[in-house]
């Protein structure tokens, strides 16, 4: 299917396939919080693993999932050095 778009010139002469529409719909449903089992049934997948591929395909979804499971992974690095009574942490602990 060839699209000729006057509203969005970047879509002019782009081919849109039914799979592209299914993939986009699945990604949007995942981002909206719909569970994998529901999406899998809605798309008619024989296996939940097929639906899981959609999650791997979208970087934003992966980033959000990582942030929920490992928030420190995407957090900015902590800066500075801890100095207690003129010594770094290890020196301070040794002095106790």
For 77, the token pair is 């690095």
User: How many Cβ atoms from other residues are within 10 Å of residue 29's Cβ?
Assistant: 18
pLDDT: which is higher, 82 or 50: 50
pTM of the model: 0.46
DSSP label at residue 33: T
Which stretch of 24-28, 32-36, 75-79, 86-90 has the lowest confidence by average pLDDT?
75-79
pLDDT per residue as tens digits for the range 13-52: 777 788 878 888 888 888 888 888 898 898 888 888 888 8
Measured in degrees and rounded to the nearest 5, phi and psi for residue 52 equal -60, -25
SS3 assignment, position 14: strand
If 0-12 CB within 10 Å is exposed, 13-18 middle and 19+ buried, where does residue 23 land? middle
CA distance 69 to 17: 34
Percentage above 70 pLDDT, the chain: 68
């Amino acid at each position: 299917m060839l699209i000729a778009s006057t509203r969005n010139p970047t879509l002019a002469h782009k081919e849109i396939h039914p799979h592209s529409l299914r993939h986009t719909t699945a990604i949007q449903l995942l981002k909206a919080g719909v569970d994998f089992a529901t999406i899998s049934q809605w798309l008619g997948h024989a296996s939940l693993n097929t639906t899981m591929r959609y999650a791997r395909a979208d970087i934003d979804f992966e980033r959000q999932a990582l942030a929920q499971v490992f928030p420190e992974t995407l957090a900015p690095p902590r800066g500075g050095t801890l100095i207690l009574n003129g010594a770094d942490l290890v020196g301070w602990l040794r002095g106790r």
